[in-house]
Structure 1
Amino acid sequence: MTERTMMNANTEGAYLRDVGRRLRALTPEQRGAVLDDVRAHFADAADAGRSPEQAVESLGDPATFTARVRAELGHDDGRADRIRRVLQWTAVGTAAFTGMFVSFLWPDDSLPGLDARYDEHGFGIVLWNLLPAVVAAVPVAVPARARTVVTAVVALVLTVLTGTAQTVFVPTAMLAWAALVVPVLARTGRPAVGWRVVGGALAGLPALLTLGGVVAGSFDTDVWTVLALVAMLALGVLIALGKVWAGAVLAALGVVAMVWATLSPGLLFLGVWWGGGLFLALGLSHVLAHSAARPSARG
C-alpha cells in the first residue's frame, strides 16, 4: 500500500468514524445503511479520479451530513429528552399528590410503618412525605450529559424508599423507571413489537388477576365489574397492537383509580393505588413512545 493510498484510507476512515458516532441515535440497521452509502460514495469518487477530500466536500462535513440524514429519516433529535421530561414531571406531580394525601388525608395507621397524620407529627412529616417528589425532580435540574445516569440513580433511590415505610410511592417509582427506559426504546421511533406486547400484558395483568379471583370464588362481583375487567383486557390487547388512543385511555383510568383510592381508602387501597399507578405509567409511556416525531428543521 502506497503512502497516498494510506492517506486516502485514513481520510475515509476518519469520516466514517465521525459519521457513525454522530448517528448513534439511529437504529443499527439505519446507521449501517448510511455508512454503506458513504463507503460507496468514496468508492465512486476514487473510480472517477477524485480525491477523498473532494468526496468529503461533496458530502459535506460530518455535522452537516448527519444533520441532513437525520432530517431525511424524520429523526427528531429532542424526542427522547421530551419523553423523559414528561415522565419525570409526571413522577414529581404524582409524588407531591401522594405526599399531601398521606400527610393530611390518610385516615389511620393501616399501612405498616407509616404514621403520616399531621396532627401527631407536625410539619416534619410533611417534609418527609414530600422527599420523594424532590428526589424525582433531580434529573430535571442536571446537565443533559448526566441525565441518564442521574435518572437511573433516582429510580433506584425511589425503589428503595418504596421498600421501607413509603409503600404508597410505588407509582412514583414506576414513573421514574419509565423515564429511564422509555426514551431509550423510543429514541428512533416506535418501540419494537416485543416491547408493545410486554406493555399490553402488564396492562392486562390486574384484570387477569381479578378475574382469576372471581372464578376462584375469592370475592363476589357483578356483571358490570366483569365487563369492566374485560374492557381492561381489551385495552391491553390494543396497546400490544400499538394503538395510541388505548394508552391515553389507560393513563386516564389510572388517574381515576388513584383519585378514587384517595377518596375511599379501605382494605383494597394499596391494590387500587398500585394498579392505578401501573395504568398511568404504562398508558403515558405508550402514548409518548408512539407519538409522531417532529420533523427536524434542518435539511
Structure 2
Amino acid sequence: MTAEDAYLRSVERMLRGIGPEHRIAVLDDLRAHFADAEEAGRPVDDTIASLGTPNEIAERAHEEFGADRAAAEGRAERAWRMLQGAAAVSALVIGVVVAFIMPTHTIATSEGGASVLQHLTILQNDGVWVALLILVPAVVAAVPLVVARAARLAVAAIGGTLLTLLTVIAAFTTVGMFFLPVVLLSWTALIAWARLRGPGFGRGWRIAGGVLAATPVLLSGGLLGGPFGFEFGPPRRYADYSEGGGPDFGVEAAGWALVAVIIALAVLIAIGFRWAGWALAALALVVLVTGLVAGSMLALLFVWLGGWWLTIGLAHAVTAVKRP
C-alpha cells in the first residue's frame, strides 16, 4: 500500500460521520491534489504535509457538513425506532395469538362412547404462566426502545441475540418458529441504524432488497411448478379444525396476481422508489395476519412470508432516499 492510499483510507475512516455524497467529494478533491502534485513532480510526503493530517481534514469536513451529520443521526434514529417498534408490536401480536387464540394441542376425549378430538390453546392446555412466557419475546424486543441512547447498541444486540436463541430453542415446539419475523426485524433495525449513521444504503443494497423480495415467489414457481406450485385453499380457520376442511376456494388463480404484484414491487424497490417499500409492507401485513388467523400447517408459511416481506418493505421504506 502506498503512502497516498494509506492516507486516503485514514481520511475515509474519519469521514464516516458525514453524508456519503460529501465524503466522496472530499476524497475526490484529495485525489485531485495528489494527481496535480504528481504531475508537478512534488513528493507524496510534501503533498500530505500541505494537505494536513487526516484528523484535521475530518474536522474541517465536519465543521462544513455538520448539519448533514445531525440529519443522518435523526434519520437513523427514526428508521431504527420504526423497525424496532415493528419488531416489538409483531412479537406482542404473535405472542397473544399463539398463546391465547391459536389451537396448538389436540387431545382425544370420549363423549357418549365416541372419540372426539379437542383442539386447545396453550392457555387451555398448559396454564396461564406458560402462556405468559410466550410474551417474553415482546418484552425483549421492546426493551431497546426505552433504554438510554448510550446503551442502545449493546442492549439491541443482546436483545437480537436473545430473540434468535429463543426462536431456535422454541423451534422444537414449533411455537418459536412463529417469531422468526421478530428476529428479522430486530437485526434489520440494527443494520439500518448503523448504515444510516455511516455510509448509508447504495444501489447494491436496493438491488439486493428487490431480489430478496422476489425470491419466495420465484422459488415457488420455479421449484414447485406454479404460483405456490401446489393447490391449497387459504389456511383453515380455527373453527374448521374439526370439520376436516377449510373454505372451498383456493389461491392458485389469485397466486398469479400476487406473484405479479410482488415482482413488480421488487423491481421498483431495486430502482429505489420508497413508496414500493410501503406497498410491500402493507401487503406483507395482510399475508401475516392471514397466517395468524389461520388454523392449518400453512399458517406458519404465511407468517414467514409476511414477516419476510414486512422486513424488506419496511426497511426500504424507512431507509431509501426520497426520489426528486
Q: What is the TM-score with the length of structure 2 in the denominator?
A: 0.68
Q: 1:224 to 1:168 in 2, by over 3 A?
A: closer
Residue in structure 2 matched with residue 202 of structure 1 by the alignment: 212
Shift of 1:104: 1.0
1:167 and 2:177 equivalent? yes
Query: For residues 109-188 of structure 1, what are the structure 2 equivalents within 5 Å?
Result: 109=105, 117-165=122-170, 166-187=176-197
- State the superposition RMSD in angstroms: 3.5
Comparing 85-94 with 137-146, greater Cα deviation is found at 137-146
Separation in 2, partners of 1:122, 1:208: 42
Shift of 1:30: 3.1
Separation in 1, partners of 2:309, 2:208: 13
Residue in structure 2 matched with residue 97 of structure 1 by the alignment: 93
Residue in structure 2 matched with residue 290 of structure 1 by the alignment: 320
Comparing 208-217 with 197-206, greater Cα deviation is found at 208-217
Unaligned runs of 5+ in 1: 1-16, 41-61, 294-299
Shift of 1:116: 5.5
Deviations, residues 119-173 of structure 1 (Å, cap 9, x unaligned): 2222212321110011111212222223123222211111111112211110100
1 or 2 for the larger relative contact order (CA 8 Å, sep ≥6)? 1
Shift of 1:106: 1.1
CA contact (8 A) 1:244 1:287 kept: yes
Between Structure 1 and Structure 2, which shows a larger proportion of strand residues?
2
Shift of 1:27: 5.2
1:281 and 2:311 equivalent? yes
1:219 and 2:230 equivalent? yes
Unaligned runs of 5+ in 2: 1-9, 34-57, 107-119, 171-175, 232-250
Shift of 1:88: 1.0
Separation in 2, partners of 1:159, 1:73: 32
Percent identity among equivalent residues? 36
Residue in structure 2 matched with residue 3 of structure 1 by the alignment: none
Q: What is the TM-score with the length of structure 1 in the denominator?
A: 0.73
Residue in structure 2 matched with residue 30 of structure 1 by the alignment: 22
Separation in 2, partners of 1:252, 1:245: 11
Instruction: Give the partner amino acid of 2:128.
Output: F
Which of 247, 254, 262 lines up with 2:292 in the alignment? 262
CA contact (8 A) 2:206 2:270 kept: yes
CA contact (8 A) 1:203 1:279 kept: yes
Q: 1:254 to 1:28 in 2, by over 3 A?
A: closer
CA contact (8 A) 1:207 1:229 kept: yes
Instruction: Give the partner amino acid of 1:194.
Output: G
Separation in 2, partners of 1:239, 1:217: 22
Shift of 1:235: 1.2
